[in-house]
Chains A and B, each alone.
Chain A
Amino acid sequence: MIAELGLAALWLAAALAGLQLLFAVRAVRGDPEGSGVRAIAVVQGLLAAIAFTMLILLFLATDLSVELVAANSHTAKPWLYKLAGAWGNHEGSMLLWVTVLALAGALVAIVERNLPERTLVATLGAQAAIALGFYAFLLIASNPFERLSLAPAEGQGLNPLLQDPGLAFHPPTLYFGYVGMSVAFSFAVGALITRDVGAAFARAMRPWVLMSWIFLTLGITAGSYWAYYELGWGGWWFWDPVENASLMPWLAATALLHSVAVLATRDALRAWTIMLAVVAFSMSMVGTFLVRSGILTSVHAFAVDPQRGAFILGLLVLYIGGALALFGWRIGSVREGARFDPVSREGALVANNLLLSAILGIVLVGTLYPLGVEAVTGEKLSVGPPYFNSTAGPLALILVAIMAAGPLLKWRRDEWRALIDRLALPVLILALALAAMLLLAGPTGILPLLGLTLAAGVAAAALAPLWGRNLRRTPMFTWGMAIAHFGIAVALAGMAFESAYTKETLVAARPGETHRVGPWAVTFQGVEPVAGPNWTAVEARLTANRGGAPIALAPQARTFPTPLTETSEAAIATRWNGQLYTVLGNRDASGRWQLRLWWKPFVTLIWFGGCLIALGGLLSLFGRARRAKRVRLREAYA
């Protein structure tokens, strides 16, 4: 019964999306007031939410007569993973996608009051058009509520690699990010249809871009930490296509975030902002396509079904092609925005946008190249870290340097000389950091050295906009910018430390032996068998010592019976100045156990920086909302 209710709600939501599109088209041509499009959007959001709630109920009850539950769940799973199982598979995650999309549309319909009504209705129409494609995809090619004629006695379980509390919330976080981009895209389409591209449009779009960017930042940070501790390879970023699928929308969203600020504040960069909104949404569609079509066979790709891949590719081409066509057709008639001097805040933001776009292009080419080459010539190749580090790395360093200078420039027009004065202190700190590195830390690679000194200078420059201000009266969004930029410097420092000063020891050890890694002496006590709720494992007992109280670590090699899988659970000890990372390997013929030990100084700064960046975004979001409210109140009283 629950499954049928869910399916009915899904069909109704799809029908309403069709209606929403139709009414929106009519209203944009005629009278936008009282067209009912807002009300339809709200109901459509509710129906989608009901459908998704039904799916969650099915998973919580482990109703094995539903094909999706039988294929992806198991009665013996902890309840959190039963819940996460609802979106830890292809159909469920697509349903989550469209539910978030519909709810976002409903939210736009409820809260947006500043945009001209015609543009808003066009926006909701675009939103309905996107939703319609995904409803069709669910109902035709991947129905999550499909019943089995014969219910199996037991489900097949969830991929154990995905059985992790962090990962239970990783996909929803990224989807919030992707879907926020779709709202920004709908705003851009709405503005193009009514040719109403200006500051009001930018201010309506900005909170969505910010929110989506915050979620993407958190999603990438969490995903990176997950890969770091779960895969047991000691790395924090592998340039895996699936990671790139989340990085590319983030790069585009970062560019959009900055150009929308120019548009909202100075009414400049109109066409460019619209273009970026289209690109950012395209990247989130490409991300969905890469992950969901099964084109990359990896832990993330559950669907190996050509029909689905073709369907998503069709949607991708339809939406991006449509948007680009609309852009080409309409952009000529959008008036040019305000002008500015090359040396100005706008100029720096243009440089930021160009560099971000270039990095995005490089990552996109590197990610799609192997797919393209294989499709055309059948030759199989892989593009890995050497490519991405050598091409995107230097550009990213230049970008970070510009980031230090940008916020210190005035809007519209500024002087080189004034900028140099304002940068004096950060440059001094940079020079001191460089000297300290050369004197104290000994020789390292050029890139880590550059990264660390740059991080020191940029950290100082990031906080520079706060100097000489009354800190309590500084607007919250200025704090947000300073903290987000500071977070970039912190993350950069973490990356540079990790790549320059990581110590690694790989040994085969007998019980009782002690091995050194960095400042630590790690003693191997032996192994013991342990069992969890749905796995068994061999667990190593390690004691690590560097002069204080010794710490115990217990890395495991786990075996899951359903489906039969072996995974390695690293044991990590976090100290203020880094992490000790230990992995248990295999037993060799003479009874020794392989141990891999890493000492990674300040590696935690990478994710701490990521969290700071997201926090900065959050402060900006609240700051903007507060100011908008104050302006509204002032207008109401005037």
Chain B
Amino acid sequence: MKPKNQRLVLALLALVAIIGAGFLALAGLRDNAALFRTPAELAANPVEPGRDIRLGGMVAANSIREASDGVTIDFIVEEGEARVPVRFTGIAPDLFRESSGVVAEGAFDRRGTFIAHTILAKHDENYMPPQMADMETRDERLQRTLER
């Protein structure tokens, strides 16, 4: 390398590193970004099994079933007519209840059951996953319409 060009070479190296990182990031995002889907969206546009998504909706009334091992639960996430069966093994958050909002992270298995590895429920009155905040406003809108 000619010493005269050292500054140029360093600048080019930096550019290559940044562009390389950009490509790596985009490739990673294509494979790994988890989409947020509601049951109605899934009914219209199913997601292939094994792909990580976040499923958001309401826990259907009377749908939570405890398995005999005591740590697995099955429940239905619904939105209007659309329903998705979910299985979760682990400790559900304290505020995970029937007829309230939930976001589950995981993927569908081959039989169409959503296997969740994480469940997010409303944490306290100030905290909720951003997507759920939107669902909440949708509910409130619905409620207002009903009251009127």
Binding stretch for chain A, among B76-84, B108-116, B128-136, B137-145? B128-136
Interface string of A141-183 (1 = CB under 8 A from B): 0000000000000000001110000000000000000000000
Residues on B close to A: CB < 8 A?
1, 3, 6-7, 10, 13-14, 17-18, 20-22, 24-29, 31-36, 52, 54, 66, 69-71, 89-92, 94-95, 105, 123-131, 133
SS class, residues of chain A in contact with chain B: mixed
Residue of A nearest to B20 (CB): A358
Binding stretch for chain B, among A25-33, A386-394, A430-438? A386-394
- How far is the CB of A504 from the nearest CB of chain B, in Å? 10
**A residues 270-303 with Cβ under 8 Å of B?**
271-272, 296-299
CB pair A297–B128 under 8 Å, yes or no, is: yes
**Residue in B24, B35, B91, B127 whose CB lies within 8 Å of A596:** B91
- B3: chain A residues at CB < 8 Å are 339
Given A296-B130, A589-B66, CB of A370 within 8 Å of CB of B25: no
Given A272-B14, A354-B13, A588-B70, CB of A362 within 8 Å of CB of B32: no
> At the interface, yes or no: A415 with Cβ under 8 Å from chain B?
no
Given contacts A383-B32, A596-B90, 14 further A-B pairs with CB under 8 A are A272-B10, A297-B128, A350-B13, A354-B14, A362-B28, A365-B29, A381-B33, A384-B52, A387-B28, A507-B69, A508-B69, A508-B71, A565-B123, A596-B91
A365 to B30, CA, bound (A): 12
Given A361-B25, A588-B70, CB of A383 within 8 Å of CB of B14: no
CB pair A563–B28 under 8 Å, yes or no, is: no
**A residues 495-521 with Cβ under 8 Å of B?**
506-508
- How far is the CB of A364 from the nearest CB of chain B, in Å? 8
Given A382-B33, A382-B34, A387-B33, CB of A298 within 8 Å of CB of B127: yes
> At the interface, yes or no: A124 with Cβ under 8 Å from chain B?
no
A272 to B14, CA, bound (A): 9
- B14: chain A residues at CB < 8 Å are 272, 354, 357
CB pair A361–B21 under 8 Å, yes or no, is: yes
- B28: chain A residues at CB < 8 Å are 362, 366, 387, 390-391
A370 to B24, CA, bound (A): 17
CB pair A380–B36 under 8 Å, yes or no, is: yes
Residue of B nearest to A592 (CB): B70
A296 to B6, CA, bound (A): 42
- B133: chain A residues at CB < 8 Å are 297
- A271: chain B residues at CB < 8 Å are 7
Given A366-B29, A380-B131, CB of A594 within 8 Å of CB of B36: no
CB pair B129–A297 under 8 Å, yes or no, is: yes
CB pair A342–B21 under 8 Å, yes or no, is: no
Residue of B nearest to A588 (CB): B70
Residue of B nearest to A584 (CB): B91
A596 to B28, CA, bound (A): 32
> At the interface, yes or no: A586 with Cβ under 8 Å from chain B?
yes
CB pair A557–B94 under 8 Å, yes or no, is: yes
Interface string of A581-606 (1 = CB under 8 A from B): 00101101110101010000000000
CB pair B17–A299 under 8 Å, yes or no, is: no
- How far is the CB of A502 from the nearest CB of chain B, in Å? 15
Kindly name the residue among B34, B52, B54 whose own CB sees the greatest number of chain A CB atoms within 10 A. B34
